[in-house]
Amino acid sequence: MAEQHTAPGPVREIPVGDLGRRLALRRTQLGLTREETAARAGMATGYLRHLEEHPEAAPSAGTLLRLAGVLQTTVTELTGGNAERPPGPGRAVRGARLHRLDAEECWALLGTHGVGRIAVPTPDGPSIVPVNYSVVDGCVAFRTEPHATPARAAGRRVAFEVDRIDEAFSRGWSVLVRGTGRTVTGPDEVRRLAERAYGEPWAGGRRPLWLRIDVTGISGRRITA
């Protein structure tokens, strides 16, 4: 039976303010349309649209459980309960295997863009910091401030790592890039990076300095059941 917008018994104790964003992101990751997701969860497509587009929506516990099952995750993940926790405290899945990824797989995963971590040398020793990055013309590119830690990558050998962790199923992957950092100063190259980069730095501000990592090596691993 299709569920209506006036579903009884809202779960007030669960933080659902960003539920819609998490629902849309998760079904997109699984390649599911809104119609497919709603049908599998036994609800009207219009109600799922309501959940995704209205931050104040407060679905019932049963609705959240069905959606979590369809989207192969947990209610805690959907409602943001793990947002401030580092991944990994969950129990390891039985029969897990670690597989090495070939270069093509690594580049495909790296090219999904997002947030990665760059390791750079500093006077106090190696430092690892997150940056929003893009893959452009076969290199890793990012923006930063001239005196920020990531700017120390210029002219140095660095490492860059990106990963995705599925806490609900104890699986994930990681890709490690090694290369040399280089400041991008040519107007044409700066313009090309600005045009083709994916998104803006989360940290905000001008961050006018473009850097790229000219990749000399790439490797990766995936944990599967």
Domain definitions of the chain by residue range: 19-78, 97-224
- How much is the pTM? 0.63
CA–CA separation, 126 and 119 (whole Å):
7
* Comparison of pLDDT for 156 and 196, the residue scoring more: 156
Q: Return the bridge partners of 176, or none.
A: 161, 219
Kindly state the percentage of the chain with pLDDT values over 90.
Answer: 40
| Fold annotation for 19-78 | 434 Repressor (Amino-terminal Domain) (1.10.260)
Distance CA 69, CA 46 (A): 19
Question: Quick one: how far is CA 214 from the chain centroid?
Answer: 23
Is the predicted pLDDT of residue 140 greater than 70, yes or no? yes
Tokens 């497919």: give the residue: 36
Residue 114, strand partner residues: 133
List 116's β-bridge partners, or say none.
Answer: 131
Q: What is the CATH number of domain 97-224?
A: 2.30.110.10
